[in-house]
Amino acid sequence: MYRLGYLGPKGTFSEEAAILYQNGKEGELLACSFLEEIFNGVAAGRLDEGVVPVENSIEGSVGAVLDLLAGPYYLFVRGEVFLSVRQSLMTRPGVQLERVKRVFSHPQALAQCRSFLQRELPGAQMTECTSTAAAARRVAAGSRPWAALGPARAAEEYGLEVVVPAANDYQDNVTRFWVVGKEQLPGNLEKKYKTSIVFGVGDRPGALYDILREFAVRGINLTRIESRPAKKNLGDYLFFIDFLGGQVQQEVQEALRQVAAITLGLKILGSYPA
Ligand SMILES: O=C(O)C(=O)C[C@]1(C(=O)O)C=C[C@@H](O)C=C1
């Protein structure tokens, strides 16, 4: 039976993204405690695929996921899911907002509600958890005037009450998830794809320009470019690029061949339906 891993426990945004990706097909959703557990599970074949958050419209990239894909794991991106994210502030039934002394959540969720928290709960202490649902579970298990930030479905799952339905500072709050697996998706010329790659560049004038040029001259539209520290020397970066087009297309193959020749350690993360 098909197994899809996600950041648990039950009730996270990741679970919702996993449900959307599975789209009613048969299979099992498995809650993992950490991103590494998802990556390890897929690499070892315990999971067929895993859903991981990759970027948020407010907070930007999820650095840990980019680092795991660039570095120790040879996994491929096989799909993407966009999820509209509404952070609800939830407490045990009867606890009023004014009395809340401590707020638990995933660091991304706390960051998405930074102004709200400063404005509404200036005296409260923030505590990071492994996920929003882990935070909700912790608040439900205690007896103190605590709150959690996360999806309303986590409130339902753990018997909490939603006190503020949308505490995120920007109402347009979308998280993009990637679905990772051990093998690349087979391409189909009839379908529209997006492709993601990561590479290092040499230290010379125009190095990045030369790479971008290979896409520009072939009319390939880049949808994201992001740099992350290469974690060697300060000033060494890895670049992550997403572009429209799949490896089945000849111009994409040509661009990638040229780019491979002028980058350091090009890794193709995969082509997936756009
Ligand atoms: O904690 C969760 O609910 C998650 O699924 C993780 C996560 C993330 O890492 O970005 C997913 C979506 C939201 O942006 C907040 C948290």
CA distance to 197, 241, 250, 255, 260, per residue, from 218 (Å): 17, 16, 10, 8, 16
pLDDT score recorded for residue 72 = 80
Q: Is 132 a catalytic residue?
A: no
CB 51 within 8 A of CB 4: yes
Going through 8-107 in order, the beta strands assigned E by DSSP cover 28-32, 49-56, 60-61, 76-84, 88-91, 102-105
151 CA distance to ligand 1 middle (Å): 9
Q: Among the options 12, 132, 175, 195, which is catalytic? A: 175
Phi, psi angle pair for 132, to nearest 5°: -65, -40
pLDDT for 233 equals: 86
Architecture of the structural domain at 88-164: 3-Layer(aba) Sandwich (3.40)
Residue 12 annotated among the catalytic residues of the structure: no
Mutate to test the pocket of ligand 1, among 12, 80, 158 (most ligand atoms within 8 A of CB): 12
Helical spans, DSSP H, in the chain:
13-22, 35-44, 63-70, 107-112, 114-120, 132-141, 152-158, 207-216, 250-262
Q: What is the identity of the amino acid at 95?
A: V
Q: 148 in ligand 1 pocket by Cβ < 6 Å?
A: no
Question: Would you identify the CATH topology of the domain 193-273?
Answer: Alpha-Beta Plaits (3.30.70)
The finding on whether 61 has its CB within 6 A of some atom of ligand 1 is no
Amino acid 16 reads E
Instruction: Report how far ligand 1's centroid is from the alpha carbon of 27 (Å).
Output: 22
Atom of ligand 1 at shortest range from CA of 173: 14
Q: For ligand 1, is residue 62 a contact (CB within 6 Å)?
A: yes
Report how far ligand 1's centroid is from the alpha carbon of 8 (Å). Answer: 10
Q: Which atom of ligand 1 is nearest to the CA of 56?
A: 14
Nearest Cα to Cα of residue 52 among 25, 88, 78:
78
Per-residue pLDDT of the chain (274 residues; tens, 9 = 90+): 999 999 999 999 999 999 999 998 999 999 999 999 999 999 999 999 999 999 999 999 999 999 999 988 899 999 999 999 999 999 999 999 999 999 999 999 999 999 999 999 999 999 999 999 999 999 999 999 999 999 999 999 999 999 999 999 999 999 999 999 999 999 888 899 999 999 999 888 999 999 999 999 999 999 999 999 988 888 889 999 999 999 999 999 999 999 999 999 999 999 999 9
- Among 13, 39, 76, 177, which one carries the catalytic annotation? 177
CATH 3.40.190.10 domain position(s) in the chain? 3-84+174-181, 88-164
> Which atom from ligand 1 is nearest to the alpha carbon of 15?
5
Q: Which residue has the tokens 């200036």?
A: 122
Give the torsion through C-alpha atoms of 209, 214, 220, 221, to 10 deg.
Answer: -10
CB-ligand 1 contact for 87 (6 Å cutoff): no
Ligand 1 centroid from CA 86, angstroms: 11
Task: Output the pLDDT for position 122.
Answer: 95
Residues of the chain with CATH 3.30.70.260: 193-273
Q: Which fold has domain 3-84+174-181?
A: D-Maltodextrin-Binding Protein; domain 2 (3.40.190)
Is the CB of 168 within 6 Å of ligand 1? no
pTM for the model: 0.95
Cβ–ligand 1 distance for 105 under 6 Å, the answer no
Q: Tell me, in angstroms, the distance from the centre of ligand 1 to residue 89's CA.
A: 15
Q: 229: CA distance to ligand 1 center in Å?
A: 23
